[in-house]
């Protein structure tokens, strides 16, 4: 009995090793957090990409207002937004450098009003005129801050031209702030509206050799999240859409890179119109998430990126990959 007592005592001593409870609790916490993240991801995939395609198309005119204002809406993803929103009966106002027949293209298919404002967003002297022209539009429901530019090839920051960097700052960041400020006043008066900002996955996955572009997109993400929170007591919705790569003129000179995508990752490389069709169908989803990819394949890519290894490590991996792939840098 004494021996047995000793054995019981030894076992119970092993059983109550002080680290045991700690690691068991840690395991439960980590598993719960991963499960919660997974559940949230599945829920978001459902409400952003599946449910909007099962239900009848939402009436954005009723939900937000009559007009959609789209910066850079004459080509690429912006043109896709213009066509998709016109399809839903919204009047369209496009602001861009060139008209690119967007007005006639929309008018030939849809019976909506279309307006084009000739603007070069690479300077900041345009906003007084834009405000004057926009003030004539009654009931702006959606603003899509879409315009954006990137350098024509992967390039170290030190090699970039200063005037060109100023242009990127103006086109990618100043427009988002100034256009939002111009349109927000009328949305606040109506207490409804949607502000969509085009970010990029480059803000979540650091993209060296497009350093300024990626950083401008990180600015847009932060701007959108803060603004959404500021406006949470109103009926104005803010969304930041962060695609991975989309087949548009933006990437036209990065041929080695786009050829690689076409060959190995074509399922993640939609054209501007297909991307915009999916992203537009998410415009009626109110509430969180504020930031998402806008295209299901890109949402999955965002989920599988191992964010937990940290931004510095991700940046170093991107650098090595781009050096290997393009031999441009
Ligand atoms: N394509 C991608 O892989 C990708 C990935 C992530 C995020 N995005 C973002 O999505 C947005 C749209 O990109 P996209 O690929 O559709 O680009 P895109 O095909 O190059 O189209 C850009 C649009 O912006 C206009 N634009 C460019 N510079 C302008 C300026 N200085 N002043 C006025 N208008 C100007 C262009 O009009 P003009 O023809 O008149 O110049 C065009 O309508 C951008 O914010 C981009 O950063 C794109």
C-alpha closest to that of 302 among 313, 293, 311: 293
| Candidate from 70, 77, 269 with most ligand 1 atoms within 8 A of CB, to mutate | 77
Q: Is residue 221 lining ligand 1, measured as CB closer than 6 Å?
A: no
CB 212 within 8 A of CB 153: no
Q: Which residue has the tokens 């806008």?
A: 294
Distance between Cα 73 and ligand 1 center (Å): 8
Please state the φ and ψ torsions of residue 234, each to the nearest 5 degrees.
-105, 180
Catalytic residues: 213
- Could you give the number of structural domains in the chain? 1
Q: Which residues of 118-131 are buried (b: 16+ CB within 10 A; e: fewer)?
A: ebebbeeebbeebe
Q: Could you identify the atom of ligand 1 that is nearest to the CA of residue 121?
A: 32
For residue 188, being part of any structural domain is answered with yes
For residue 298, being part of any structural domain is answered with yes
For residue 312, being part of any structural domain is answered with yes
Q: Is residue 74 lining ligand 1, measured as CB closer than 6 Å?
A: yes
For residue 230, being part of any structural domain is answered with yes
d(CA 187, CA 189): 5
Burial class (CB in 10 A: 0-12, 13-18, 19+), 134: buried
Q: Is residue 98 lining ligand 1, measured as CB closer than 6 Å?
A: yes
Question: pLDDT 10s per residue in the chain (329 long)?
Answer: 444 444 444 555 555 666 678 888 899 999 999 999 899 999 999 999 999 999 999 999 999 999 999 999 999 999 999 999 999 999 999 999 999 999 999 999 999 999 999 999 999 999 999 999 999 999 999 999 999 999 988 899 999 999 999 999 999 999 999 999 999 999 999 999 999 999 999 998 989 999 999 999 999 999 999 999 999 999 999 999 999 999 999 998 888 888 888 888 888 999 999 999 999 999 999 988 999 999 999 999 998 887 888 889 999 999 998 888 876 65
Q: What CATH number is attached to the domain comprising 166?
A: 3.40.50.720
Q: And the tokens for 259? A: 């050829």
| Candidate from 69, 74, 76 with most ligand 1 atoms within 8 A of CB, to mutate | 76
Instruction: DSSP for 131-159, please give it.
Output: HHHHHTS--EEEEEE------SS---GGG
Residues in the chain: 329
Helix runs in 46-126, H state only: 51-54, 60-63, 76-87, 102-109
For residue 42, being part of any structural domain is answered with no
Q: Could you identify the atom of ligand 1 that is nearest to the CA of residue 201?
A: 6
For residue 86, being part of any structural domain is answered with yes
Distance between Cα 25 and ligand 1 center (Å): 49
- The domain of 201 spans 60-326
CB 144 within 8 A of CB 96: no
For residue 81, being part of any structural domain is answered with yes
For residue 20, being part of any structural domain is answered with no
Please state the φ and ψ torsions of residue 196, each to the nearest 5 degrees.
-105, 130
The HSE-up count of residue 214 (CA atoms within 13 Å, CB side) is 20
């Amino acid at each position: 009995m004494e021996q047995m007592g000793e054995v019981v005592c030894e076992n119970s001593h092993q059983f109550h090793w002080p680290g045991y409870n700690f690691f068991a609790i840690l395991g439960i916490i980590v598993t719960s957090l991963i499960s919660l993240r997974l559940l949230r991801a599945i829920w978001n995939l459902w409400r952003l990409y599946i449910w909007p395609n099962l239900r009848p198309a939402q009436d954005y005119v009723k939900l937000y207002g009559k007009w959609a204002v789209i910066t850079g809406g004459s080509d690429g993803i912006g043109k896709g937004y213009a066509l998709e929103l016109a399809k839903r009966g919204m009047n369209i106002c496009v602001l861009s450098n060139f008209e690119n027949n967007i007005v006639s293209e929309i008018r030939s298919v849809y019976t909506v009003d279309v307006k084009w404002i000739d603007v070069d967003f690479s300077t900041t002297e345009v906003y007084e005129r834009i405000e004057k022209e926009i003030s004539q539009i009654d009931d702006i429901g959606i603003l899509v801050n879409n315009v954006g530019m990137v350098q024509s090839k992967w390039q170290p920051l030190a090699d970039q031209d200063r005037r060109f960097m100023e242009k990127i700052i103006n086109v990618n960041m100043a427009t988002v702030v100034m256009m939002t400020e111009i349109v927000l006043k009328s949305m606040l008066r109506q207490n409804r509206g949607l502000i969509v900002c085009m970010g990029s996955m480059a803000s979540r996955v650091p993209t060296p050799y497009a350093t300024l572009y990626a950083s401008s997109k990180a600015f847009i993400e932060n701007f959108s999240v803060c603004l959404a929170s500021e406006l949470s007591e109103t009926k104005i919705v803010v969304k930041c859409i962060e695609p991975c790569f989309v087949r548009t003129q933006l990437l036209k000179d990065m041929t080695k890179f786009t050829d690689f995508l076409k060959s190995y990752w074509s399922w993640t490389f939609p054209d501007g119109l297909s991307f915009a069709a999916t992203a537009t169908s998410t415009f009626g989803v109110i509430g969180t998430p504020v930031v998402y990819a806008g295209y299901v394949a890109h949402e999955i890519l965002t989920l599988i990126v191992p964010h937990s290894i940290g931004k510095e490590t991700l940046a170093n991996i991107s650098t090595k990959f781009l050096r290997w792939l393009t031999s441009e840098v």
